[in-house]
Structure 1
């Protein structure tokens, strides 16, 4: 199993809307590194859902339910999507400040590559964020 983090601005697509929908395809990725990460996602992988810009916090856990395919919002074959479903809301959101202050998360992609919208996580990074949100 692999672990990931995806970002969404809550005004564009919030965790609450995601839970209401029950499933979505993760579109709008227009960065090659983030796109390559989407291509690496496998069915069953777990994903942290991060509210960017407003909130700046991890709010829930999702899972990959369909591996990458052509992004239906564009005819450009460079871009792909994966399908995600919500799994669980964190008991308490984990803020970017908490993540930055945690010695065990000093190398997490969210801090090192803050603008990347889809990133891989080490198992211990995923576990630590979940621990902080419990």
Structure 2
């Protein structure tokens, strides 16, 4: 038996790396620059096939905008000094049908206890399966989730 799929939330400031940047980059990117040790630990725990919410943070926008999938597990690249930041590779799966705002999530009874609320400064957090399902419900799912994809293709 294979490992169960796990879920995560990856935060990014839209001015640094946005959903548009992700899509323009062919949907594939290296997720790097994570300095916090706990967030790095979460990145190191990711396995190929895990799904991640793509979350815009910052003053103007705090919302889940899309979903990416882990395509390469944690790796490091030597920066010439024997060090180098670690990363995972992710690819775009699809944009949320409706962005899910932080205020909406905080007001939803089904999301009480979401680690995002308890550790708001972490850029990588695990997402429990029931929380994943609820956020997807709030956003009407995401393009590529197999639900109403024919309708999405027509629009």
Same fold judged by TM-score > 0.5?
yes
Alignment pair present for 1:87 and 2:119: no
- Bigger Rg, which one: 2
Which consecutive segments of 4 or more residues in structure 1 shift more than 3 A? 71-79
* Aligned: 1:40 with 2:45: yes
RMSD: 1.6
Matches within 5 A, 1:113-132: 113-132=119-138
Q: Deviations over 1:26-73 (max 9, x none)?
A: 111000000000000000000000000031000001100000001566
Matched, 1:28 2:33: yes
Q: How far off is 1:78 after superposition?
A: 7.4
TM-score when normalising by structure 1: 0.94
The answer on 1:52 being equivalent to 2:57 is yes
Which structure is higher in RCO with an 8 Å CA cutoff and minimum separation 6? 1
Structure 2 residue runs without a partner (length 5+):
141-155
Q: Can you give the 5+ residue segments of structure 1 that lack an aligned partner in the other structure? A: none
